[in-house]
Chains A and B, each alone.
Chain A
Amino acid sequence: MQTAVSIKDLKVSYGPTVVLQNLNLDIRPREFLVLLGSSGCGKSTLLNAIAGLNDVSDGEIWIEGKNVTWAEPKDRGIGMVFQSYALYPRMTVRKNLAFGLRVAGLPSDEVNTRVARAADMLHLTPLLDRKPAELSGGQRQRVAIGRALVREVDVFLFDEPLSNLDAKLRNELRVEIKKLHQDLGNTMIYVTHDQVEAMTLADRIAIMKDGVIQQLAPPSEIYHRPANLFVAGFIGAPSMNFIEGRVIKTDAGFDFETGDTRFSLDGYHGAPVEGPATLGFRPEHLCLEGISGPELNGTVAVVEPMGADTVVWFDWHKQNFSLRLMGDSGFTPGAAIQVGIDLSKASLFGADGTAL
């Protein structure tokens, strides 16, 4: 059994609108997979299809070696945590956790053991007799996780579970979820639109756009080697800088030409191809000293100090670029600035947007 969850040729449509088409995805056992994308990209639709909460139009869904395409959600061996938590408001925490098990007809001492174990794990034991309204946002979130936990299943589905929390709590719970995954070793599929969550939690990230997975890779690969222009622009804040131009073959190798500037692509890791292209480089991959590659001579427009680092926005050839510096910068708006691009960390995209 190689995969925990396997999606084959999945198609989901609402009436005439096709949300997902020909989607294939294999998720390994014990993997933490994050589905990342902006709203409307189909990531929640995909998650709901895995859960059995959406009807699929075509394709198959396999969980733990069983074809569950037609199975009821409860028979799929999944637990799910919802964005609004979906706790039953008139039941205590204990009843919330136990309700599904009781309906399934489990003996009551089994129910009690499982509830106690989950409550212990999530530090909910002192809260067991409270109603959801008497809990804080973070506690409610933990109860929602607990409800998935007591089902003792192999696959957990999370649908934007942290988006209703404030920033501080979100950071705390993110760490807790990661720890939970390390302790339990379950397969987890996690939907979010927050790239920080995706980067920090995931073993692999699937970035989606218009119902298509753009890239499926570990976070560092997504960040450093984006598969296409969309992924490159989506991940990272401030986002990647782009220069449009064309690649020209020379005797020595390849040059990049934009406007009246032309420089060699020596040191680029990929395989450039002649023709129109876009050069992308992240703000932290520009350097002020020890410049070896191409040089940009611009004018500082805005300086944003953020404490640990500073983002300097500068203009070059009527285009806006960002540069990230550690600590404070000595720049003031209007000053001249000279930076070099570290080509070994840059990305080059061809005319169709895919990485070269």
Chain B
Amino acid sequence: MARRQKKSFMPALAILPTWLTVVVVYIGAMVWTLNLSFTKSKLFPSGAYVGFDQYERLLGSSKWIKAVSNLATFGVLYVLGCLVIGFCLAAALDRKVRFENAFRTLFLYPYAMSFVVTGLVWQWLMNPVLGVQATMQGLGWESFSFDLLTSRDYAIYGVVIAGLWQGSGLVMVMMLAGMRGIDVEQWRAARVDGIPAWRVYVSIILPQLGPPLAAVATLLTMGVIKTYDLVIAITNGGPGTATEVPAKFIMDNLFQRQNLGLATAAAIMLLMSVVIIVAPFRYASYIRAKRKAGVL
């Protein structure tokens, strides 16, 4: 009996540090932040509770609204763009092409690089005076325009392009793995049926890639919500507030504007958006697992 108890004690001890991390850092810090968001803290935490005042202030802040709408524009274009480009690249590589490995390596390498690097490269490419635009115009293509980043209206699309460059490869890898897992006899059946290849991808393959598609879409969306470094490097939020994003808004109010209450309220809002996006996926997979367990 004594030995048994000793055995069951070591595993619990082994995961104790992680338990502490979860409770103190994850839960503790979250509760603290939540608490702060209901106070009128400025530079230092304050004990004066103001209810939802900070949230009201937040929703009244044009900068926050702009940051959220930028994030929505960026998020939709980035996630959809990555999915479409990634799927097309995967389908193309799936067609028994030569140099498949070389192509795959080239499509994915940007994913290995930091957002700062990505941002700086594209900032340089989109430099209106010395970058691609000037080069093309110098070559005689006078109307060529590629100075998205200096325009208040288009700068966010510049950020999207940089994001697509970095993120599409991830989708490509995941989709290609999914495609290679599909029964080859389906391809043969489709050939006997006379289904053109593009139609097979759209009507037969794509519907079967639901799970990896959902996984990679969640992954990309999480990345969108956390978007910070990319914007800092490529535009630093400008011009004006053209590429302001919530994560940057929070950082500014936290460390530069000494607006602790507002920053924490914004952080909680960001967290809520994650919950809203992830919860349905989680719930669906939970239900699916339950149903599976029920059937078995």
Contacts and interface: CB of A to CB of B under 8 A. Distances in A.
Asked if A and B touch directly (CB within 8 angstroms), the answer is yes
Interface of A: 48, 51-53, 72-75, 78-80, 82-91, 99-100, 103-104, 147, 151
B191 A53 contact: yes
Q: Is the interface of A mostly helix, strand, loop or mixed?
A: loop
Given A88-B204, A90-B207, A99-B203, A74 B185 contact: no
Interface in B188-230: 188-189, 191-196, 199, 203-204, 207-208, 210
Contacts of B196: 103
Contact of A74 (B186, B193, B203): B193
Contacts of B203: 88, 91, 99
A106 to B, nearest CB: 11
Given A53-B188, A80-B188, A84-B185, A90 B208 contact: yes
Interface in B157-197: 183, 185-186, 188-189, 191-196
Contacts of A72: 191, 194
Given A88-B204, A90-B207, A90-B208, A100 B193 contact: yes
Given A82-B185, A83-B185, A91-B207, 5 more contacts: A53-B191, A89-B208, A90-B208, A100-B193, A103-B196
A86 B185 contact: yes
Nearest to B204: A88
A79 B203 CA distance: 21
30 contacts: A48-B188, A51-B188, A53-B188, A53-B191, A53-B192, A73-B191, A73-B194, A74-B193, A75-B194, A78-B192, A80-B188, A82-B185, A82-B188, A84-B183, A85-B185, A86-B185, A86-B189, A88-B186, A88-B189, A88-B203, A88-B204, A90-B204, A90-B208, A90-B210, A99-B193, A100-B193, A103-B196, A104-B194, A147-B189, A147-B193
Contacts, number: 65
Contacts of A52: 191
Interface of B: 183, 185-186, 188-189, 191-196, 199, 203-204, 207-208, 210
Given A88-B204, A90-B207, A90-B208, A100 B185 contact: no
Contact of B194 (A86, A89, A103, A147): A103
Contact of A82 (B189, B195, B207): B189
Contacts of B192: 51, 53, 73-74, 78-80, 100
Q: Which has the most chain B C-beta neighbours within 10 Å: A75, A84, A86?
A: A86
Contacts of B189: 80, 82, 86-88, 147
Contacts of A104: 194
Contacts of B185: 82-86
Given A80-B188, A84-B185, A86-B189, A100 B195 contact: yes
A135 to B, nearest CB: 14
Given A84-B183, A90-B207, A90-B208, A74 B188 contact: no
A236 B28 CA distance: 75
A80 B187 CA distance: 12
Contacts of A75: 194
A84 B183 CA distance: 8
B195 A99 contact: yes
Q: Which has the most chain A C-beta neighbours within 10 Å: B194, B199, B208?
A: B194
A136 to B, nearest CB: 13
A82 B187 CA distance: 11
A100 B194 contact: yes
Contacts of B194: 72-75, 100, 103-104
A147 to B, nearest CB: 7
A89 B195 CA distance: 16
The 4 closest A-B pairs by CB, nearest first: A74-B194, A100-B193, A90-B207, A86-B185
A78 B188 CA distance: 13
A53 B204 CA distance: 19
